Structure 1
Amino acid sequence: MPIDVSTIMLMFPVVSLSMAAAMLVVSWGRWRDDGLAQWGAGVMMIAVAFPLFIVNTLASSGLPALMVAGNTLLAASYSASLVAICRFFGRPCSPWKTLLPVAAAAVGSVVYIDRPEPRVALGGILFAIQGFLVAREVLRRDNGVLERGRLLLAIGAGMVSLLYLQRTLGIVGGWNEVAQLKTAHFIQVGSHAMGLAGLVLSTMGFILMGRERADAEHQQQALLDPLTGVPNRRALMAELERTLAQAVRERRPVALLMMDIDRFKRVNDTYGHVAGDAVLAAVAQCLKGGLRGQDFIGRYGGEEFLALLPGTDAAGAGVVAEHLRARVERLTMPWEPEDIRVTVSIGAHTRVPDEGTGAQAMVDVADQAMYAAKRAGRNRVERLDAALSECAGATAAS
């Protein structure tokens, strides 16, 4: 059964126009957010370019100017894809990678306007390089973990590169029928089928990249306390479980610091809850700024914060706790009619965990030590480093 190349080529504007319209509608009003608009514009250029090729093919004497315009639009579409990826990852895109291929496609098409074989061979090399640049940009290591969206996009871009490389190789191999769009040569048919699949895969990959980023951001937000910007209780306990498991394997100590803002209710009653929220946020950032890179801090609840210090013995935990207490004591919160100053009471607990050590049990001991600091006068550090079984029954202080 003969294959009509024009019919295959007609699938490009149908498919690309549908995808481009959907992407441009979704990105409406967000032209500079995530590269979606740039990618949609690139797909739209493909939707315009292929009808030009089809008209040129169907014209009895051919319309070479349409080939020039179509090739220029194709180069521009791949440049737009490259810009979209750079925009997605928040980095600038080199002009020579975007503008130079467009100029080269236009000039090369004009120079070989009456010579289809060298025009197709040159365009194949140029577009293959652009596909390679897109795949290379999306696979950069500094983009983070290679997720499914990036992999799918890279595969699609690779298919586009192969599409154009096989057309160039066909010309070099003497199959000049590749340059005649009316001829149903197997390279002609295969290249367009591969190109259409690559277009769909790469566009789906770009959309999936956005979905994966949104999911990651939502997951991250679910683990952050929205008021203070530090991890919430759920994230704290998950991190503590991981740290304890590693400490058991390595037989290393783990320290916990439970920190509570002293007389926080008085702040709310005197200055209002807006001031109280501002104090919570300021104290959280003050504590976070006083920790080491390997430490982990979050809001445990109310005005309580919990710091996790991996690989830290009792003496080291005491030093860190005193450092944090002094930082908060020096903290001044500008407010009307007067500045707000607060202190914290800190309870420290350190142990080398074993298989039976529970995360919540360690937190409870650190909490008991914190209440011991409250009873001893507040704005101080108390340590409870005995075995967990020996640290039960402490009563809370107000």
Structure 2
Amino acid sequence: MDILHLDIKSMMLMCVFIGVLISGGLAALLRDRYVCPGMPFWVCGFFLFTVGVFFAVGRAFTPLWVSVFFGNLFSFLGTNLLWLGLLKYNNKMKRYHFLVMGLSLLTAISLLFMLSAGVPEKNRAELISIVFNVQSLLCVREALRDREQYESGRLMFAFTCMLATIGSCLRFLTYQMEQSYSLLNTNISNLLLIFNAIIVFLGLSFSIMLITSQWLQQKLAAFAAYDALTGVYNRYGLSEQTAVLFGSKNKAAFSNCSVAMIDIDFFKKTNDSYGHFVGDLVLKAVAATLRQNIRHQDILARYGGEEFIVVLPDTSKAAALAWAERVRELVSMEPVLVNQHAITITLSIGLVDLSEEKHVSLDDAIREADIALYQAKERGRNRVCWFDNAASLLMYTANYNGGVTSVTDR
């Protein structure tokens, strides 16, 4: 059967039916609390675009001006909301971006005036194609902006919009071959219109579902790897981040590498005296100070209750000691203020220098740093100790301005 003999009105009604199903399916996702930013805009956008197609085919049984004005207005607004959803997802939305919806209203009013002035339908269709192409290219730009490598959903969104733009451009060219154009006539131009509508409905709906799925996967990965209270890595995140470093058999991989175990002194007493809310504030304050005083290649993690681990690659023993002492002093000089009470925080820090180890793992490094931390606690807290297994006897020597102690053990 010749495809040109298909009924355009039936195909447009089919697009309306597809749009209703997709809009309903996406709206159902909004009931889930874990939906990505932009989803409300995308759901509304699909719904308005579907209403626009309905009004477009409705010119068969309603006044022409109703179809021209409302059909194009709702279609423009639907495309605007798809773009605004991308802006929301990228956290780039500003109030002035909503002005594009006012421009869509002005365009719909202009089409209404063109209709009343007797402008041929082909010329109105050319204006509509130009407006849709501009909106589609804006969506392509926003879908690709700052896209991460794993975000194939956004890439699919941009690809779908590009296909729709190409189809619209081809449709624009076919106007020139038409002696007289009408939206409900069966011709190449309108078949391209149906093709574009199907591309928008199916391609973008799959893209949005993929975007939502990938966003949720990233959230779950973040929940698994980060401590919810302090925002630093948890034990799982620490293991993942150090897997390459400690999984290497090459000694150069951890040459000049140090590991620090940090414990907040008298933390239980703080919780008992002021409550767990204040204890949480103390943990956040210490984590913030540590985060502000590490390099981008350093790894900071909350290891347990009030304990933190910091892995310092390419850091000599002297540099690690200087860093630990600086952090200890900074924390002690910045009390946490709660209800006009200044709570002084001190840290005990255990360090281990991995460059001297023949065989090392993360567990071994933490075990040795914990030995040094224990000795820092035993010797009065608020000090730095380092672990050294070069000697055969257990020895402690005060050094480094009275704040640093060496722990030597085989």
Could you say which TM-score interval applies, normalised by the shorter chain? Answer: 0.7 to 0.9
- Of 358, 368, 376, the match for 2:361: 358
1:131 corresponds to: 136
Structure 2 gaps, min length 5: 395-405
2:231 corresponds to: 229
Structure 1 counterpart of 2:209, one-letter code: I
Instruction: Compute the displacement of 1:369 (Å).
Output: 1.7
Query: After superposition, what is the alpha-carbon deviation per residue over 1:284-335, rounded to whole angstroms, capped at 9, x for unaligned?
Result: 2233333334322111112211111121111110111001111222232335
Instruction: Compute the displacement of 1:150 (Å).
Output: 0.6
2:206 corresponds to: 204
Say if 2:314 is the partner of 1:282: no
Q: Between 144-153 and 350-359, report the one with greater CA deviation.
A: 350-359
Sequence identity (%):
26
2:386 corresponds to: 383
Say if 2:53 is the partner of 1:55: no
> Following the alignment from structure 1 to structure 2, what is the Cα–Cα distance between the partners of residues 24 and 49?
18
| TM-aligned CA distance change 1:185 to 1:229, over 3 Å | same
Instruction: Compute the displacement of 1:245 (Å).
Output: 5.5
Structure 1 gaps, min length 5: none
Instruction: Compute the displacement of 1:216 (Å).
Output: 1.3
Query: After superposition, what is the alpha-carbon deviation per residue over 1:139-160, rounded to whole angstroms, capped at 9, x for unaligned?
Result: 112x444512212211222222
SS in 1 for 2:263: strand
Instruction: Compute the displacement of 1:25 (Å).
Output: 5.2
1:46 corresponds to: 49
> Following the alignment from structure 1 to structure 2, what is the Cα–Cα distance between the partners of residues 225 and 127?
45
Say if 2:191 is the partner of 1:189: yes
Query: After superposition, what is the alpha-carbon deviation per residue over 1:344-396, rounded to whole angstroms, capped at 9, x for unaligned?
Result: 211111234899531211222211221232233321111225579999xx99x
Say if 2:253 is the partner of 1:254: no
| TM-aligned CA distance change 1:270 to 1:159, over 3 Å | same
Q: Give the aligned length.
A: 387
- Of 362, 371, 375, the match for 1:372: 375
Structure 1 counterpart of 2:109, one-letter code: A
Q: What is the CA RMSD across the aligned residues, in angstroms?
A: 3.3
> Following the alignment from structure 2 to structure 1, what is the Cα–Cα distance between the partners of residues 155 and 171?
25
> Following the alignment from structure 2 to structure 1, what is the Cα–Cα distance between the partners of residues 382 and 110?
75
SS in 1 for 2:258: strand
> Following the alignment from structure 2 to structure 1, what is the Cα–Cα distance between the partners of residues 242 and 390?
18
> Following the alignment from structure 1 to structure 2, what is the Cα–Cα distance between the partners of residues 121 and 312?
65
SS in 2 for 1:384: strand
1:151 corresponds to: 155
The residue correspondences of 1:17-32 to structure 2 (distance < 5 A) are 17-24=20-27, 26-27=29-30
Structure 1 counterpart of 2:145, one-letter code: R
The residue correspondences of 1:145-184 to structure 2 (distance < 5 A) are 145=149, 147-172=151-176, 174-176=177-179, 179-184=181-186
1:115 corresponds to: 120
Instruction: Compute the displacement of 1:28 (Å).
Output: 7.0
Query: After superposition, what is the alpha-carbon deviation per residue over 1:173-197, rounded to whole angstroms, capped at 9, x for unaligned?
Result: x1346x3233322442244134213
1:66 corresponds to: 67
| TM-aligned CA distance change 1:248 to 1:77, over 3 Å | farther
Say if 2:323 is the partner of 1:320: yes
Q: TM-score, normalised by structure 2?
A: 0.82
| TM-aligned CA distance change 1:259 to 1:192, over 3 Å | same
Q: TM-score, normalised by structure 1?
A: 0.85
Structure 2 counterpart of 1:63, one-letter code: L
> Following the alignment from structure 2 to structure 1, what is the Cα–Cα distance between the partners of residues 166 and 39?
25
Structure 2 counterpart of 1:301, one-letter code: G
Contact 2:312-2:320 within 8 A present in 1 as well? yes
> Following the alignment from structure 1 to structure 2, what is the Cα–Cα distance between the partners of residues 196 and 303?
56
Q: Between 298-307 and 107-116, report the one with greater CA deviation.
A: 107-116
| TM-aligned CA distance change 1:73 to 1:110, over 3 Å | farther
> Following the alignment from structure 2 to structure 1, what is the Cα–Cα distance between the partners of residues 380 and 189?
85
Instruction: Compute the displacement of 1:250 (Å).
Output: 5.6
Structure 2 counterpart of 1:50, one-letter code: V
Contact 2:55-2:66 within 8 A present in 1 as well? no
